[in-house]
A and B are shown apart, each in its own frame.
Chain A
């Protein structure tokens, strides 16, 4: 069976790839496009480690097929910093020690950015519920929540 030819936009850049019908967007990102910053934690949409945005919508890339990227705009962790300048969320995660092992971090950063895009001034409870689909087993979430709230505060001020 021949592969599908897909044209998409990845972190603002035009990208083409070939994929099998059953390949997920996560597999395409990691195995075909070598963007391994997006992580697989479960493959069933339960952990959020593979969070990306598709046309601005937050999704688990393990639940999206690669062919569905056709004509869409995909944003992954690799596109979050502007050149050498970290996104405020990335900076605050470092300052607050909001990661231990760091494997859930790309997905949480993508999810947090999606939150702040629609709600620039979330309460602690709103952050906790928004991130309830992103599992972290190391931190107990304290410092993640603090970092998101601090980043939101800074982003509102600028």
Chain B
């Protein structure tokens, strides 16, 4: 493709980097936007799900006869309504799925593995009848011993969730089963020699609690599946193509027979990249012949959808007196929940990634226990290992008497620095975020009594991958951009900005929509900070195709050769030998003559975008600790993140602000609390306390822009890395305030108070 779009070098950007009102804004402030729970169809039934009261039990039998006999009940399903799946891990190791596990997670088979595990579902003519029917289902359970904690689950005598699970990644394989699903190890250099050369070594152990993504919209969907083998879903997810593929697979249907409409999504943060209610609603619909709607309660969301992993970790770092890092060793044990698949591999890769360390070992364990299966949460895995690594980095800096930011800057990775997983870093950006915080007025601001300041940094890969977009020129010269990416926080606006910039037209002349699975090519999930990068490339590629077509149409009108027309500032313009022969022809004029020149003008582009560039963030946190209560107040928080380039400035700032606040909640409040029977005690927003407005100051953002040369406008991705350093920044600030190092998240008032009263110094 002839790049008739000017490259970013020397390019004057008119719309990229501004903050126009989002195209989908008005329906979202007037209540008219339709989210997952907002759809209805004639004859619709209400679905409800029976959930396990036990943390671990064998299912001896399920008797649904009384429920089926209840007037108004139209269908009852159990695991028997879903075909068995082959046991195999599919896809790249870092994000592999196993449908044998997935079908058991959406509906328990041989055993229930956590409190809240679905065991049956009903569809009835009212919510009340559906709830009553659940009470009539008789499940004969054989309760089994359970295990919640990750360290306890790794003990040789721990109750086993899967009696035949042999740890993967160990050669030769262990002779007996365990709850350790997988072990991974990365190495570079010579670890022993590295530590032998160190002047100072700091080693600490950490624990983190599982935390929920906490999206405000519970999972919900509406399904209409016919006896002819086709079906439709209205579902709020981070990827309607993935919902389509997983649902079709679990119901043994062809992908093309399932149509998924993208409802607006009320938050996801990774937790809506997987399915829970969709296959159940679809199976109930298929069995009853009616549309079926299922809405989770908040309690269901906490008990049965994925939090991210809790962990147990040990990190050791060796350093020369001059501040040069020489060795690092990390062991990261992650709770996967009831099925394998924690983000521990990401954790082992990301933990030491910001630094140039010649000798590194990074070991991870993926461990099952009787908790809900973990799901992705904002830079999955990386914030957890960063909490450990960045806490130790802080202690190392103190040990050698170096400023913690200058210590990080001295060892910061840059293009060419090796990574523990093999390839060298291919992009700069980390050092720039450190320098941004060093230069920020907050770094030199005075602190008062009981106050402390902490800094920390983080790394996240950012993703590319498969995306599709279409660009259609309307009869009046306005443009519709359609993509397959769910809009979770303003991506319609960023797509419209990139299209308007590329075509050289006004932002308000572009309308961006999210198309259903039958109306656009495959597009991977809205996750991994990939949408503005990968789907953005698809939009720009489609725009370039449209520009080539517009030039050809103008050439036809002017009776010139196609090569004699270029596109500039939203107009076709004669060039070369024909330069100056005709006045530039704006897009609207070319569109007006479309019928005479060949018909409608539009293009689709589908890409598998490589060249994603990682995100780095460095953060500063000031806290005040109440010595009487142990309560920690966040006084100030600065986040500097390399975003490559901000397309919609306000929504990029919003990603940083939101990510930081989630990290603050993770640091100070949020945790899953279980009783001795394995029951979750805080399955609601009253007792699982996410940050509220009065907890917080204004988060101060610094957008660092080191452009990614692999994206037409330099995008790296903005959504995730902001959460990575946050917990360590808070912990380091608390340590600075009270000279006590908190190593167990959340750093709730009782723990802080206990630390104050202990003799242990940080």
Q: Give the B-binding residues of A (Cβ under 8 A).
A: 20, 22, 27, 30, 34-44, 46-47, 49, 76-78, 80-81, 86, 90, 93-97, 99-106, 109, 124-125, 127-129, 131-145
Contact = CB atoms under 8 A, between A and B. Distances in A.
A52 to B, nearest CB: 11
A137 B662 contact: yes
Given A37-B30, A41-B266, A99-B25, 16 more contacts: A22-B128, A34-B40, A35-B31, A36-B34, A37-B32, A39-B37, A77-B29, A81-B30, A86-B26, A100-B651, A103-B35, A106-B29, A129-B694, A135-B692, A140-B661, A141-B696
B383 to A, nearest CB: 16
A137 B490 contact: no
Contact of B298 (A41, A101, A129): A41
Nearest to B126: A20
Interface centre among A41, A100, A124, A131 (most CB of B within 10 A): A100
Contacts of B692: 131-135
A104 B216 contact: yes
A138 B658 contact: yes
Interface of B: 19, 21-22, 24-26, 28-35, 37-38, 40, 127-128, 213-218, 264-269, 295, 297-298, 488-490, 648, 650-651, 653-655, 657-662, 684-686, 690-696, 698-699
Contact of A100 (B297, B488, B686): B488
B28 A99 contact: yes
A22 B270 CA distance: 35
A40 B488 contact: no
21 contacts: A36-B31, A39-B266, A40-B37, A44-B684, A47-B216, A76-B31, A78-B32, A80-B31, A94-B26, A97-B651, A100-B488, A100-B490, A100-B651, A101-B264, A101-B268, A102-B264, A103-B216, A105-B28, A127-B693, A131-B692, A140-B691
Contacts of B37: 30, 36, 39-40
Contacts of A135: 216, 685, 690, 692
B685 A44 contact: yes
B730 to A, nearest CB: 14
B705 to A, nearest CB: 18
Contacts of B297: 43
A86 B650 contact: no
Contacts of A35: 31
B130 to A, nearest CB: 13
Nearest to A90: B29
Contact of B216 (A77, A137, A144): A137
A94 B641 CA distance: 24
Contact of B30 (A77, A132, A136): A77
Contact of B658 (A41, A76, A105, A140): A140
A30 to B, nearest CB: 8
Given A132-B693, A141-B693, A95 B21 contact: yes
A39 B489 contact: no
Interface hub of A36, A42, A97, A135 (most chain B Cβ within 10 A): A97
Contacts of A138: 267, 489, 654, 658
A11 to B, nearest CB: 10
A86 to B, nearest CB: 7
Contacts of A132: 692-695
B21 A94 contact: yes
Nearest to A20: B128
A103 B654 contact: no
Nearest to B215: A137
Interface of A is mostly: loop
A44 B696 contact: no
B658 A94 contact: no
Contacts of A105: 28-29
A108 B24 CA distance: 18
B266 A43 contact: no
Contact of B35 (A39, A76, A129, A143): A39
A97 B22 contact: yes
Nearest to A22: B128
Contacts of B40: 34
A133 B21 CA distance: 27
A124 B24 CA distance: 28
B267 A101 contact: yes
B693 A37 contact: no
Nearest to B487: A101
Contacts of B34: 36
Given A20-B128, A100-B658, A103-B216, A78 B489 contact: no
Given A101-B267, A138-B489, A41 B694 contact: no
B686 A44 contact: yes
A40 B35 CA distance: 11
Contacts of A97: 19, 22, 490, 648, 650-651, 653-654
A135 to B, nearest CB: 6
A139 B693 CA distance: 10
Contacts of A128: 693-694, 696
A44 B686 CA distance: 9
A102 B33 contact: yes
A103 B216 CA distance: 7
A142 B128 contact: no
A93 B29 contact: yes
| Residue of A37, A77, A102 with highest tally of chain B CB at under 10 A | A102
A90 B29 CA distance: 6
A149 to B, nearest CB: 11
Interface centre among B127, B216, B264 (most CB of A within 10 A): B216
Contacts of A96: 650
A90 B35 CA distance: 19
Contacts of A104: 216, 266
A117 to B, nearest CB: 18
A119 B580 CA distance: 63
A96 to B, nearest CB: 7
Nearest to A148: B693
Contacts of A86: 26, 29-30
Contacts of A47: 216, 298, 685
Contacts of B698: 124, 142, 145
Given A137-B690, A138-B267, A42 B298 contact: yes
Contacts of A49: 216
User: Closest 4 CB pairs between A and B?
Assistant: A37-B31, A103-B266, A100-B489, A97-B650
Contacts of B25: 94, 99
A145 B40 CA distance: 34
B416 to A, nearest CB: 35
Given A42-B298, A136-B216, A145 B654 contact: no
Contact of B31 (A106, A131, A136): A106
A23 to B, nearest CB: 9
B32, B489, B692 pick with most chain A CB within 10 angstroms = B692
Contact of A42 (B266, B648, B660, B684): B684
Contacts of B653: 97, 142-143
Contacts of B264: 101-103
Contacts of B268: 101
Contacts of A78: 30-32
B697 to A, nearest CB: 9
B512 to A, nearest CB: 15
Contacts of A95: 21
Nearest to A143: B654
Nearest to A106: B31
B650 A131 contact: no
Nearest to A97: B650
A35 B34 CA distance: 11
Contacts of B699: 140, 142
A102 B693 contact: no
Nearest to A87: B29
A35 to B, nearest CB: 7
A92 to B, nearest CB: 10
